[in-house]
Chains A and B, each alone.
Chain A
């Protein structure tokens, strides 16, 4: 398969904390136009993969975005290469308004001098992100007052404003209502049209509805990879999620998602 310039290709990623190997030679790739899912039980190493790619943890192997190597650079440099992420616990600036949060994210490419000026008007990219995420009506509220779902959308909006080409989302729908999940899934579908979107998830239902391709991690290794139908049919995946092989409709069926 040919690798387009704007793809994320991770190969042999290895992350170790002391003697404990959290991620063991994991490889996967993600391309614009697909919503890529990383799933797996607790401790499978999903978040650790994202941490290593974004510079929060040290990892070995390679993680290339186009022709740029990401591993080994400080976090802020990786962001400047166009790789953005969200966090399990939504981390927005609680005391700043929604608009200010988005505006800060847009500041990446501003000159130092313009940083010293007050904000006049709203950047077009900020307007677009407000519209895209449906946060236009709460633009002047402090971000700390948003609902949990809105905070996640704000984080995604900040990535859009940042003009991130790779979006790594860590459990974006945890704690969301069913309607919010659907809205988030649709948002991801739109966003993924010209960007790489990688979603770390627990929620099987959500995965089934919106994933294009899925990688299943287990104990730091890749267990299975393929379309939703393919991984659902994989007996090893069923074993990991159920403890026994056999029942197809168990963990992977609606309503049987894990609880953290």
Chain B
């Protein structure tokens, strides 16, 4: 048990971080079919918001809680801008959104590299995240607990929003039948924009959490985008519950692999795991049956 507990707890925290990174993708990819490769750079933007907030308000005890909503809004507006300028023209070409947003990702990375120091910037964690809690003899760092709490809060908020608000119903109507939703009086354009705003905003929140755990630099988005997409792929499109399970599974599995082998081999093994998983539960499970072969 002493052997298994630390990787299990660390893995859960890594899974929670992956979940934060993937949650917004589930919304934009799953609900809207848009593959936003700049999502990683929205995470980066959130991390830089945490840094800038700290420059203005030096007390990290205050600046981090303040940075969370700020990062949500900043990343959300970046997403909105992306939707209005590029993505709205390509809703019927999902693979092309992937490529166009790769271009956006490159531009955002380069912009960050020129605005901020190339070696990255430090984000100090608030004093109330110093220290550990004792879990069966293991000193679990509080910032890992914080990531998990934050992820849980975001999942709960998103799920409730989609399920209970009238807006959530409008999103689902748009996803299931865009034309019908339009003729039934749903303003699908504003649904698209708000969905994209929220999805991207969640990336900003993930960025604040990431800034407290790893480095904050122009390349950090690259690090998160592929694992986040793997989580979405394994979780099943548009399935929040699936995303939660997949994120935790990938996080815990990678941490165990890293304990047993090395961090780099863990990435390869995680990839193999997802491919094997797709053999058992391919995307076909989630496709909607229609007549004909259109």
Task: Decide if A and B touch, CB cutoff 8 A.
Answer: yes
Query: Beta-carbon contacts of A83-94 to B below 8 Å, as 1s and 0s?
Result: 000011101000
Does A88 lie within 8 Å of B289, measured CB to CB?
Answer: no
Give chain B's interface secondary structure class: loop
Question: Which B residues are in CB contact (< 8 Å) with A17?
Answer: 289
The 8 A CB mask of A195-238 against B (1 = contact, 0 = none) is 00000000000000000000000000000000000000000000
Bound Cα distance from A140 to B289, whole angstroms: 34
Q: How far is the CB of B25 from chain A (nearest CB, A)?
A: 28
B279-294 interface mask toward A, CB cutoff 8 Å, 1 = contact, 0 = none?
0000000000101111
B289 touches A87 (CB 8 A): no
Closest CB-CB distance, A242 to chain B, in whole Å? 26
- A91 adjacent to B293 (CB under 8 Å): yes
Q: Is the CB of B292 within 8 A of A91?
A: yes
Q: With A87-B292, A89-B291, A89-B293 given, can you name 9 additional A-B contacts, CB distance below 8 Å?
A: A17-B289, A47-B291, A87-B293, A88-B291, A88-B292, A89-B294, A91-B292, A91-B293, A91-B294
In the A-B complex, the 10 residue pairs with the smallest Cβ-Cβ separation, listed nearest first, are: A89-B292, A87-B292, A91-B293, A88-B292, A88-B291, A87-B293, A89-B294, A47-B291, A91-B292, A17-B289
Q: How far is the CA of A88 from the CA of B292 in the complex (A)?
A: 6
A89 to B291: give the CA distance in the assembly, Å: 8
Q: Mark A8-37, 1 if CB is under 8 A from B, else 0.
A: 000000000100000000000000000000
Chain B positions within 8 Å of A88 at CB level: 291-292
Chain A, residue nearest B292 (CB): A89
Expressed in whole angstroms, the minimum distance between the Cβ of B282 and any Cβ of chain A is: 14
Query: A55 CB to closest chain B CB, in angstroms?
Result: 13
| Chain B, Cβ-Cβ closest to A51 | B291
Min CB–CB distance B285 → chain A (angstroms)? 13
Nearest CB in chain B: distance from A16 CB, A: 13
Q: Which residues of B contact A89 (CB under 8 A)?
A: 291-294
Contact with B along A177-195 (1 / 0, CB 8 A): 0000000000000000000
In the assembled complex, the Cα of A126 lies from the Cα of B292 at a distance in Å of 25
Q: Which B residues lie within 8 Å of A91 (CB)? A: 292-294
CB distance from B40 to the nearest CB of A (A): 36
Q: Which residues of the other chain, A, contact B294 by a CB distance below 8 angstroms?
A: 89, 91
Identify the closest chain A residue to B289 (Cβ). A17
B292 cross-chain contacts in A, Cβ below 8 A: 87-89, 91
Minimum CB–CB distance for A78 against chain B, Å: 15
Min C-beta distance of B278 to chain A, whole Å: 19
Which residues A44-73 have CB closer than 8 A to chain B?
47
Bound CA–CA A134/B291 (angstroms): 28
Q: How far is the CB of A151 from chain B (nearest CB, A)?
A: 12
A87 to B290, CA, bound (A): 12
CB neighbours (8 Å) of B291 from chain A are: 47, 87-89
Min CB–CB distance A74 → chain B (angstroms): 13
A87 to B292, CA, bound (A): 5
Q: How far is the CA of A180 from the CA of B67 in the complex (A)?
A: 68
Within the complex, the shortest CB–CB distance from A90 to chain B, in Å, comes to 9
